[in-house]
Amino acid sequence: MSLLDWAKKADFDMMFKRYNVIIEGPAIKPEDDPDVKKVLPKDEPFKSLAMAVIFGDTEKAVQAAKTALERTSPLDVIEKGLAKGMDAVSALYAKGAYFLPDIMLSADAMTAAMAVAEQKLGRAREKKGTVVSFVAEGDPHDIGKNLVVMFLKANGFEAVDLGRDVPDKEVIEAVKKYKPVMLTGTALMTTTMTAFPRVAKALQEQGLAVPVFGCGGGAVKRDFVESYDMGVYGVKAFHAPKLAEAALAGKSWKDIRKEYPKIVGEFVAEYADRM
Amino acid sequence: MAYKDPDEMVFGHAKFPVLEHWNVQFGAGYVVPEVKVAPEAGTERSKETLVKEMASIAEQAASRAVDIGLPAFMLEQEHVFQQTYHPDWGYACTLAQAEVLKKYYDEYGVRAALRQTVGDLRIEEKGGLRGSEYDNRIAETIEECCKAGASDIAAETMGGKSVLDYGVMRGDIKAILFGIGYLGSIDMEYFWTRAVNICSKYDTRPAGDTNCSGANTCMYVAGGLLGKDMSHTAAALARAISAARSLVAVECGATGPLKDCGYENTIIKAITGVPICQEGKNAVCAHADVMGNLTCQVVDCWSNESVFHREEMGGPTPAVWLQATGYEAALMNTAIQTGNAKTLRDLYTFTDMFRDPQGTLLAYPNAYRVGKAIVEYGKDIYLRARAAALEASKVMMEAYEAKLLQMTRFELDTLRKYTSILESLPMEAEIFVDQCMREYPRKIPTFDPKSYGL
């Protein structure tokens, strides 16, 4: 009997269930989603700006920004239009309606349009705060760090990207230079993640303690990160801006460890004991 | 194609078996279990502590092999940065493990293979992939591991990763094809021509290379059924493309057993007939996939992927996870000995064939089809990678239309969109590369065309 004969006879429901297909709701336009409706501007030119970001259409976003800037201030273009579009994208991503490529394309559209607005403004818009991000020394895997940087930038933070395979001393120097509200470190391997406690120790010894040192990546686990001061285990890249905002609001790394699920606003299995 | 019919393929049998020292054969009529353990964090602080850790991993694995009566096993050590960066560390660590395995072979006759998987330390924006300090050290370390008694050498090279990562994050199938299929293949030829030359001087097999940094990244990013970072159909296309890329190691002289992690290995076995390592349900210590049984279907060396070195209730992890892979291999070997191998193979395959699009693609009759599509374009690294993706797309769409495979809208939309883009790409490599070179160096600051001779 062949595989296809089995396929005709077998009851797949007794073998597996594709829950992603089962739970999928009807297709709706992003702008009709109730959570998007809450943040989407109703008036022009802000609605067009936000919609271009939601659809990740760089060309349209840039054009919408140019048109809007003829009669609207650059800051309003950014805050009341582009940023609202990004808020909508975050909401769609959080509920599983949008996927990573959608959010990246939206971030690209927002960045391009924001550059047009900032050119008119004559300076970069004021950022919420600075975060320094690096990949541990000896580790070339940087997709996680790139996501963290993207989410931070999209949420209005200045993200200083130190790259991958970054020696500890370069991280220390960057903290000294930028005085970040948060430092993030990522690593894929167990033997490169040992950079994190070394960096934390060196920062403390030099009186450079940061409010939060968010650490994550393939082999990194919460118990390891909580074994050294300042460390907060970051579960998902898109949690990074929420942790940075918590730090900006005065939360310490100890507070953030305790309140992680509340701060990121969702169930987090890795912090189930802190729900 | 090494096999006239996909039904000829079954676990434990390869057209071209490989013999390694201490009398271990791969693909010669039995399945070899494998264990792989990452050293405890902190042991990399000095050469002495790391060597001690390596010996301890080998001792714990070998003693459990004897305790539960395994006829043969493979110990694989994936290098940490320091082990490859310092060739003398690589030598000492390999020697420590080789001595343990030889001791057990001499004392009990337990056949053991020792794989050393060097780390690909090279970084495009830090000296490039060719001739940099990192690159030279990798070559030196391969040689030192051979001298110290490695049975085979494997790698997970990173060529094309900067472009691939861009493609994954932006849903750009052209970048995925260029990154894995074109750039990855170019770098594989560079890396494996050299590795094969080094290994040929010793009693060490040049085993092969899996696209961990590409297709496995896609599978990892795609996650489980509720993952929201990458479509599973896109991950399946990346896997098909990676087969055309990982094939290059064999074309350069790699013999197998091809490196695990390599879910693309079924496709390469269909083309080349070399033995393969695979991982699946006994790699739950390392990651979750949606085809845990299916990957047993034509395996020759069954692996646990990787696990931290620590204590479980059942003992230290080298022992526990060798026991897990050992018993699964024992089931397969029993099936071979009792004439039930093809039945068990099909049960493994059918369990996961329609659980997910990735399983549909890799089910051995479908993997064989993708292999045929690759072979049709011979040595054209671009066209064969493109053909692999297009055939993979057909396989998934056929299963969907037959109402065997369910897909979400996201999976289906992605598949249709990517297929249409792939179909529209030029039929000449030069034109494709020209298009990509106009676009990606500008968009990806870490992409270094010189690393690929471009």
Cα B300 to Cα A189, B105, B127, distances in angstroms:
27, 21, 38
Q: In this structure, what token pair is assigned to residue B60? A: 């714990």
Tell me: do A45 and A165 sit in the same domain: no
Which of A121, A147, A181 is the last residue before a domain boundary? Answer: A121
Residue among A55, A71, A218, A235 at smallest CA distance from A151: A235
pLDDT for res A148: 93
Domain edge (last residue) among A69, A100, A121: A121
Query: Do the Cβ atoms of A143 and B217 come within 8 Å?
Result: yes
The CA–CA distances, whole Å, from B100 to A50, B64, B65, B97, B307 equal: 64, 13, 13, 5, 20
How large is the average pLDDT for residues B66-91? Answer: 97
Between CA B39 and CA A255 the distance in angstroms is: 32
Q: Is A194 on the interface with B (CB under 8 A)?
A: yes
CB B27 within 8 A of CB B17: yes
Residue B1 belongs to some domain of the structure: no
Does the residue A71 lie in any domain? yes
Contact of B344 with chain A, judged by CB distance below 8 Å, is answered with no
Judge: B44–A143 Cβ closer than 8 Å, yes or no. Answer: no
Provide mean pLDDT across the span B407-412: 93
Taking CA atoms, what residue in B is nearest to A27? B409
Interior CA angle at B259 toward B257 and B264, to 5°?
A: 100
Residue numbers of the domain that contains B382: 6-452
Count of the separate structural domains present in chain B? 1
Helices (H), B210-316: 217-222, 232-251, 265-272
Q: What is the pLDDT of residue A162?
A: 96
CATH number, domain of A145, equals: 3.40.50.280
Whether A261 and A148 share a structural domain = yes
B315 pLDDT exceeds 90? yes
Evaluate whether residue A45 is within a structural domain. Answer: yes
Q: Are B268 and B244 in contact (CB under 8 A)?
A: no
Whether residue B170 and residue A163 make contact (CB cut-off 8 A), yes or no, is no
- Taking only residues 424 to 453 of chain B, the set having a beta carbon closer than 8 angstroms to any beta carbon of chain A reads 446
CA dist., res. B320 & res. B338, Å (int): 27
ipTM of the complex: 0.90
The domain spanning residue B135 has which CATH number?
3.20.20.70
Supply the pLDDT for residue B34. 98
Question: What does the block give as tokens for B349?
Answer: 């395959």
* Same domain? A174 vs A211: yes
The answer to the question of residue A51 being in a domain is yes
Q: Do A100 and B126 touch (CB under 8 A)?
A: no
Is A3 close to B350, i.e. CB distance below 8 A? yes
Query: CB-based contact (8 Å) between B268 and chain A?
Result: no
Peptide bond into B257 cis (omega under 30): yes
A112 contacts chain B (CB < 8 A)? no
User: Whose CA is closest to B94, among B126, B65, B118?
Assistant: B118
What is chain B's mean pLDDT, rounded?
96
Rounded to 10 degrees, the C-alpha dihedral A50/A56/A62/A65 comes to 0
Nearest CB to A99: which of B44, B158, B230? B230
Supply B327's token pair: 């018993």
Q: Is B118 inside any structural domain? A: yes
Q: What pLDDT was estimated at residue A202?
A: 95
- Cross-chain residue pair B230–A6, CB shorter than 8 Å: no
**Phi then psi dihedrals of residue B98, to 5 deg:** -60, -40
Task: Report whether pLDDT(B382) > 80.
Answer: yes
User: Which of B81, B221, B408 faces A192 most closely, judged by CB atoms?
Assistant: B81
Identify the weakest region by mean pLDDT among A91-95, A258-262, B354-358. Answer: A91-95
The residue of chain B nearest to residue A96, with distances taken between CA atoms, is B228
Mean pLDDT of B85-92: 98
Instruction: Identify the pLDDT of residue A191.
Output: 77
Question: Stretch B334-351: mean pLDDT, rounded?
Answer: 98
pLDDT classification of B142: cutoffs 50, 70, 90: very high
Query: What is the domain count for chain A?
Result: 2
pLDDT of A24 over the 90 cut: no
Q: Residue A104 belongs to what domain range?
A: 28-121
Torsion over CA of B403, B404, B408 and B414, rounded to 10 degrees?
-90
Confidence (pLDDT) at A199: 95
What's the pLDDT at A258?
Answer: 95
**Residue A267 located in a structural domain:** yes
- Of B196, B194, B218, which Cα lies nearest the Cα of B206? B196
| Beta-bridge mates of residue A185 | A134, A215
Please give the pLDDT value at position A19: 94
A44 in any annotated domain: yes
pTM score above 0.80: yes
A195 found inside a domain: yes
A-B CB pairs within 8 A amount to: 123
Q: Across the interface, do B170 and A190 touch by the CB < 8 Å criterion? A: no
**Within its chain, how far is the Cα of B189 from the centroid?**
16
State whether A139 and A98 are in the same domain: no
Q: What pLDDT does residue A124 have?
A: 82
Query: Which of B42 and A134 is assigned the larger pLDDT?
Result: A134
- Residue identified by tokens 């069954």 is B302
Those residues with Cβ within 8 angstroms of residue B54's Cβ, 6 or more apart along the chain or in another chain: B39, B77, B93, B94, B96, B97
**Is A57 an interface residue toward B (CB < 8 Å)?**
no
User: Three-state DSSP class for A63?
Assistant: helix
Mutual angle of helices A143-154 and A100-121, in 10-degree steps? 50
DSSP codes, A201-262? HHHHHTT---SEEEEE-TT--HHHHTTSTTEEE--SGGGHHHHHHHHHTT--HHHHHHHHHH
Is A232 contained in some domain?
A: yes
Same domain, A159 and A217: yes
Task: Tell me the nearest-neighbour CA distance from B122 into chain A, angstroms.
Answer: 8
pLDDT in tens, B261-313: 889 999 999 999 999 999 999 999 888 889 999 999 999 999 999 999 999 99
**Residue B332 domain-assigned?**
yes
CATH of the domain at A52: 1.10.1240.10
CB contact under 8 A, B407 and A21: yes
Residue A135 sits in the same domain as residue A267 = yes
Buried b (16+ CB within 10 A) or exposed e, B212-232: bbbbbbbbbbbbebebbbbbb
Q: Is residue A75 part of a domain?
A: yes
Structure tokens at B38: 């990452």
Q: Which residue of A has its CA nearest to B217?
A: A143
Question: What number is the average pLDDT over the span A248-260?
Answer: 95
Interface test with B, best of A189, A196, A235 (most B CBs within 10 A): A189
Same domain? For A251 and A142 the reply is yes
What confidence category does residue A219 fall into, taking pLDDT thresholds of 50, 70 and 90? confident
Q: Would an 8 Å CB–CB cutoff place A259 in contact with chain B? A: no
Residue B26 domain-assigned?
yes
Give the end of a domain, one of A96, A121, A146: A121
Same domain, A218 and A240: yes
User: Is the CB of B229 less than 8 angstroms away from the CB of A99?
Assistant: yes
Of B82, B121, B353, the CB nearest to A3: B353
Asked if the Cβ–Cβ distance from A10 to B350 is below 8 Å, we say yes
- Same domain membership, residue A62 and residue A142: no
**B169 interfaces chain A, CB cutoff of 8 Å:** yes
Q: How far is CA B235 from CA A235, B105, B183, B197, B400, in A?
A: 22, 41, 18, 33, 16
Q: Are B31 and B334 in contact (CB under 8 A)?
A: no
Rounded CA gap, B228 and A97, in Å? Answer: 8
pLDDT beyond 90 at A266: no
Q: Which residues have a Cβ under 8 Å from the Cβ of A195 and sit 6 or more positions away? A: A136, A137, A138, A139, A168, A171, A185, A187
What mean pLDDT, rounded, does chain A reach?
Answer: 92
